[in-house]
Chains A and B, each alone.
Chain A
Amino acid sequence: MTPVQAIIAKELRSYFVSPVVYVVGSVFLLIVGLLAYLYVVFAGAQAIQLMQTQGSAQINLNDLVFRNLFASIRFILLIILPILTMRLFAEERKLRTFEFLLTSPIGINEIVIGKFMSVFLVFLGLLGLTGLMPLILALFSDFDWYPVLTGYLGLVLLGALFLSVGVLASALTENQIVAAFVSIGLLLVLWLLAGLGSLLGDTAIGQVVSYLSFMEHYDHLVRGLVDTKDLVYFFSGLTLMLFLSHRVVDSARWK
């Protein structure tokens, strides 16, 4: 077992002995399930209406259910992922195990990657469970799988980005609550940059600001559009955040 694997294994163990994952996971799945139900019922109501007015109904589940759902999950992730990441470094610093970790014969990059990977695996697990919903829908209806899959790809990338922001926030402080709020704050700012970008319109600055926000990149994927530009955005954002975490952890030793 390499040190990174050892850290992943230990972090996963820590996640699953504490109630946090169970609580956060249940809330996440409950809300996603509820939203999915609501969107499906609305789609059903719309179909009935169309039947009555036009005699026949051809509704698009991709538009009516999945796009709405993917748009809503974005917001749930923004709230719950910082709760998952907040403990990663803050707890180590609070409980004085930080010094132990940094005097172990492993690089800081291995620590950061190990911690990120552990919470990313937890997130993938939760996301995997929501996969039940399209599977069940597929039993009773017809929809285009392609945008659903790219939507999930978008969720994975978006989640990874959110988690890396959370890792950074957790490295900044020894207080978990502060870490959670800092990452929610940072993510909201990233979100609102999209609004600022559209306000600035089609100028150079406006485009740069819009590009910085994850909104349009995620939207492309949800609409079934896989563009290298968007993938580059997510991967570079992720790398930047993990690199910054590395720097923050490294500089924490100097104080």
Chain B
Amino acid sequence: MIEVQQITKRYGQHTALDRVSFSVAKGEVLAFLGPNGAGKTTTMRILTCFMPATEGTARVAGFDCADQPLEVKRRIGYLPETPPVYQELTVTEYLQFVGRLRGLSGKTLTASIQREIERLGLGTVQHRLIGNLSRGYRQRVGLAQALLHDPPILILDEPTVGLDPKQIIEIRELIKNLAGSHSVILSTHILPEATAVCQRVVIISGGRIVAEDTPEQLSARLRQSEKISLTVKSPPADTDSRLKTVQGVQNVFTSGAPGTFLLECELGRDVREEVARLAVASGWGLLELKAVSMTLEDVFLQLTRHEEGLAPERVVASAESAGQSA
């Protein structure tokens, strides 16, 4: 449904997007992850034909964004970063206006409005002015707007911002239900969200795609070693070297709080038992011992921080972007 090839966007000297390529299949939900200013919004703006790319092509549902913007726009539901609502209209009036702009009329329009009002729980506020609604409601009105003409493609820029936890779960459910029949691109900086609703994650940083895979595989790939966190009450000065004597422990870091150590161990080797024995036998006062698993969050931080010692070749699916971030 969406095919982006080698898109570059420059604002004067500044390169916001640098040869970005990815594609979204029909029915797939793709998450765009990245720190602020990474180029998420720029990519979305190019896909929705709001702005043209400097180089490269973007095709949506078979139509080129540069050549046939109207055809593309008809097939996209777009929720920008700030919900695009008119404060002086009521929810219903606003949705009527949106529907008419998209060629809906008569009974189809009324039915579509009713469907979205129900789907997003706007029933109680449908006759209120949008200007008087809370941020969460406005966000939902924005979503209703994107879904109104039932487009095959949805582009959602941070769809759950400003919602309360219950609403966030509802919206995630909604997006999950849309998958299959709709292709969805959503940007987020909330990592559990990506894990919760998306089949594929694209991590973007500094205008480049630094990783692209399923959430599970991303964290698996990055995991080069097992990590264990150890907290003891009274560690002697030589704790580091004592811990290193345990077989399988490769490295010991003191991390933040006093008495807390981070142990890096060989892959596939659980050293917790031995570490516990050592700690107890030496009388350090064992308080906590746990395996640290690599969450998507860690993956994200590692990838976007460009830390030294991280070999990006192992992470990045495509070899071409790997060389640049090394």
Contacts and interface: CB of A to CB of B under 8 A. Distances in A.
A253 B48 CA distance: 12
Nearest to B82: A96
Interface residues of A, number: 26
Contact of A6 (B70, B73, B84, B97): B97
A103 B79 CA distance: 10
B52 A3 contact: no
B80 A96 contact: yes
A97 B85 contact: yes
A10 B97 contact: yes
Interface stretch (B99-107, B168-176, B299-307, B312-320): B99-107
Interface stretch (B87-95, B219-227, B241-249): B87-95
B50 A106 contact: no
Interface in B103-149: 103, 105, 145
Given A10-B86, A13-B89, A17-B88, A3 B80 contact: no
Contacts of A136: none
A105 B50 CA distance: 11
Interface residues of B, number: 30
B74 interface: yes
B105 A1 contact: yes
A87 to B, nearest CB: 11
A140 interface: no
B272 interface: no
Nearest to B70: A105
A105 B84 contact: no
B7 interface: no
B49 A103 contact: yes
Interface in A87-138: 95-97, 99-107
Interface of B: 11, 45, 48-52, 70, 73-74, 76, 78, 80-82, 84-89, 93, 97-98, 100-103, 105, 145
7 contacts: A1-B100, A6-B100, A7-B101, A14-B89, A95-B82, A99-B80, A253-B50
Interface of A: 1, 3, 5-7, 9-10, 13-14, 17-18, 95-97, 99-107, 253-255
